[in-house]
A and B are shown apart, each in its own frame.
Chain A
Amino acid sequence: MIPTPAIEINHLAKTYRGADEPALDGISLTVPEGEIFGLLGPNGAGKTTTINILCGILQPSGGNIRILGKDSIREHDAIKHIIGVVPQDIALYPSLTARENLKFIGSMYGLSGKNLADRVDECLHVFGLTKFGGRMVGKYSGGMKRRVNLIAGILHQPRILFLDEPTVGIDVQSRTVIIEYLKKLNEDGTTIIYTSHYMEEAELLCSSIAIIDRGKIITQGRPASMVGSQPGFTNLESIFLQLTGRKLRDY
């Protein structure tokens, strides 16, 4: 029996109202369960649009998505329980403490009472924030905020975790803690869909990647097999630059 893929994207299209070009131009992808899948691309390539559609934040203009076999539009409510999202922004209430933020988010996923409190404590401990759990998030450093932002996405132990640039603008220590934790989470069975501008990080973390540009998948595969497959493909960054060009991408 063929296992159900974690994510199955078929001819996904998205054109924003008033835009001349489609943000996504019929992309198709399959991500098996248990992968750490990197969706890479220059600015405006369509990474965040893809993640937002996968998470149900945006509605596609065409195509369809199945997440663990469930239709992303018709079964969106059921999907919400099995996915976790770590957005690029620090999506936390700055006037609430980390513990209050996490307790609120945990409650939304049906956690309550001692289970919720224990899970919050456990996560704060893993990310070295136990001492600061009672401090307002607005008073945290950038790295601490990123760590709480990540905890908010994994608190309910989702089967699929979407991460949109989870390590952007943080110190090396925080980045290391996050990367190590993501690896462990994946070892425990969580499928991770990840976007980043850090090619080295993606190469280190991802079991497979897709490079997206101008709304289309231009290549996909395992980083190890891609590196060295063609002349000049010495690492992921060189592959990326050869495929997407050196022209600045302002949009």
Chain B
Amino acid sequence: MKRFWATIKKEFLVLVRDWAGLGLIFLMPAVLVLVMTLIQDASFRKLDETKITLLYLDEDLDSLGSHVKTGLLEADYFEVVTEVDGKILTEKEILSQVAAGNYQIGIRIPSGSTDAIRLRGQQMVQQTILGIEAPPSDSSGQARILIYYDPAMKNSFRLTVRNALENFTSKIEAGIMFKALSDEMAQYLPEPPAPMTGAGSSISYEEIYATDTHTEIIPNSVQHNVPAWTIFAMFFIIIPLTGNLIKERESGLAMRLMTMPGNQFQSLGAKVFIYTIVGMSQFALMLILGKELLPLFNLPPLILGPEKTALILMALTTTLAATGYSVLVGTIARTHDQAAVFGMVSVIILAAIGGIWVPVFMMPNLMQAASQVSPLNWSLDGFYQILLRGGGIREVAENAGALFLFFAVTLTLAVAISTKSRRA
């Protein structure tokens, strides 16, 4: 046991004097979590929590044009720009500004759009009461709203804006239509009817996050990103740990260790011990960052929920899996470069297929199947069980078990490969 503690002390000293490695282990994850959470925060917020700046050109100069503008201004999530550099917008200016990427969206209401809606209302009444067929309409007779998009805009964002606009303008259209119908019908009735107004929606929507447990947790960018990027960072111990193993081999230290009392499990065990503490420290640091630092950047604080033991279990098995994988890569790789490149790229691939960047449910079927082989996915799923679904130890037992098994298999393989190389 004394040898084990001596090896742990040695590993600790080697680690704490490796400033670059420490930066990679602690500073890089902190920056990563902060930056990624801030970047991805907008996509997790509701539309009305963000501001979309758009160019607006009203050529209609009637009800539709003015109502759309008023609606856009009243809605909290649009910032309406009607002039650029003191000049009133034109169709050409909108096009060039959006094409240049200065603005992501431009909206133009062509002249006669309100008239087109009114005409449609009149035709509907005439068709209903007098049986007069409406003349076949072409697109030139339709009310139109032209939306210009920056080609660099993400499709999902474009659809979000379009849906919001459609939802919003349909109410305005209904209002104009009701007014037109009301006016038209008044001509055919002996007594003028009470003015028709657009009725409020008869359907209301209520959003409920489905969990089996009562939880205070609200899914947001922090709840998603902190565990995701923490897992990613925990696997990045592959760089210092493989570096440590290869340095020992290249310097002849590994050989010296083989000639000294003690065994390989003791030597590797000390590395696993130290790097497990490192992983748990990384995790603790990320939790503190999520709870204390992120709110300073106008982000919601990380809510851990009541299942702290389950969180510790997941953190422990994740760090063990990362350590086992690093030891295996460090054993197989012949040089620093091999270990660094393979280690980094493999972790990035495992993170990508594991759902760290893009949720697994959004991936094509093939990649969804592939995600099942990534230990980062097992870990992420476990953390989501706790941090988003309010799960506990029972819910994450399978994930934690898989991660521990991965650790045991990778470590055993590393020892087997190392032993085999002595017989080579």
Top 3 closest A-B pairs, CB basis? A89-B252, A107-B6, A91-B252
Are A57 and B259 closer than 8 Å at their CB atoms? yes
How long is the Cα–Cα vector from A96 to B261 in the complex, in angstroms? 21
Residue A181 lies at the interface, judged by CB distance under 8 Å to chain B: no
Judge whether A119 is part of the interface by a CB distance below 8 angstroms. Answer: no
User: Among B10, B256, B258, which residue has the most Cβ atoms of chain A within 10 A?
Assistant: B256
Expressed in whole angstroms, the Cα–Cα distance for A85 and B258 within the complex equals 10
Main secondary structure on chain A at its contact with chain B? Answer: loop
A98 near B: Cβ within 8 Å?
no
Q: Are B256 and A152 within 8 A (Cβ)?
A: yes
B3 contact set on A, CB distance < 8 A: 107-108, 110
CB of A46 within 8 Å of the partner chain: no
Asked whether, in the complex, the Cβ of B251 is within 8 Å of the Cβ of A109, the reply is no
One of A1-9, A37-45, A75-83, A121-129 at the interface? A75-83
B92, CB-defined interface residue at 8 Å = no
CB-based nearest B residue for A61? B423
Are B260 and A92 in contact (CB-based, < 8 A)?
A: no
Q: Are B255 and A87 interface neighbours, CB within 8 A?
A: yes
Asked if B258 and A108 sit within 8 Å, CB to CB, the answer is no
| Min C-beta distance of A136 to chain B, whole Å | 8
* CB nearest neighbor in B for A152: B256
| A103 CA to B13 CA, complexed, in Å | 12
Given contacts A58-B422, A110-B3, 12 further A-B contacts (CB under 8 A): A16-B424, A80-B259, A80-B261, A85-B255, A87-B252, A93-B10, A96-B13, A100-B10, A100-B13, A103-B6, A107-B6, A108-B6
Q: State the A residues within 8 Å of B (CB).
A: 16-17, 52, 55-59, 77, 80-81, 83, 85, 87-96, 100, 103-105, 107-110, 112, 136, 152
* 18 sampled A-B residue pairs with Cβ under 8 A: A16-B424, A55-B255, A55-B258, A55-B259, A85-B255, A89-B251, A89-B252, A91-B251, A93-B14, A95-B14, A95-B17, A96-B17, A100-B10, A103-B6, A104-B7, A107-B3, A108-B7, A109-B260
Query: Is the pair A81, B261 in contact by a Cβ cutoff of 8 Å?
Result: yes
Q: Which residues in A have their C-beta under 8 angstroms from that of B398?
A: none
* Chain B proximity of A100: nearest CB distance (Å): 6
Given the known inter-chain contacts A59-B423, A104-B6, A108-B261, please indicate yes or no for A92 contacting B13, CB distance below 8 A.
no
- Interface residue from B14, B258, B422, B424 paired with A96 (Cβ < 8 Å): B14
Q: Which chain B residues lie closer than 8 Å to A16 at the CB level? A: 424
Q: How distant is the Cα of A55 from the Cα of B7 in the complex, in angstroms? A: 21
Contact (Cβ within 8 A) A88 B261: no
Q: Are A83 and B259 in contact (CB under 8 A)?
A: yes
The answer to whether B252 touches A90, judged by C-beta atoms less than 8 angstroms apart, is: yes
Residues of B contacting A96 in the complex (Cβ-Cβ under 8 angstroms): 10, 13-14, 17
Q: Using Cβ atoms and an 8 Å threshold, which residues of chain B touch A90?
A: 251-252
Chain B interface main SS type? helix
B9 close to A (CB within 8 Å): yes
With A and B bound together, what is the CA distance between A112 and B14 in angstroms?
20
In the complex, B292 has a CB within 8 A of chain A: no
Selected contact of A104 from candidates B9, B17, B251, B261, CB within 8 Å: B9
Proximity bits, B223-264, A CB within 8 Å = 1, else 0: 000000000000000000000000000011101111111100
Distance, CA A108 to CA B261, complexed state (A): 6
Chain B residue numbers with a CB within 8 Å of A58 are 422
CB <8 Å contact, B255 and A59: no
CA distance A133 to B3 in the complex (A): 22
Residues of B within 8 A of A83 (CB): 259
- When C-beta atoms are compared, the residue in chain A nearest to B257 turns out to be A108
B10 touching A56, Cβ below 8 Å: no
Knowing A85-B256, A91-B252, A108-B3, say if A59 contacts B422 (CB, 8 Å): yes
Partner of A52, one of B6, B17, B255: B255
In the bound complex, CA of A164 to CA of B5 (Å):
30
Taking CB atoms, residues of chain A closer than 8 Å to B154 are: none
CA separation between A80 and B256, bound complex, in Å? 11
Asked if B166 is at the interface of the complex by the 8 Å CB criterion, the answer is no
Residue on A nearest B255 in the bound complex, by CB: A57
A100 to B255, CA, bound (A): 19
**Which residue of A is nearest B266, CB measured?**
A108
**How far, in whole Å, are A244 and B14 apart by their CA atoms in the complex?**
44
Is the CB–CB distance between B261 and A87 below 8 Å?
no
Write the chain A residue with the least CB distance to B9.
A104
Q: Do A17 and B255 have beta carbons less than 8 Å apart?
A: no
Most buried by B among A57, A83, A88: A57
What B residues does A55 contact at CB under 8 A? 255, 258-259
**CB distance B261 to A109 under 8 Å?**
yes
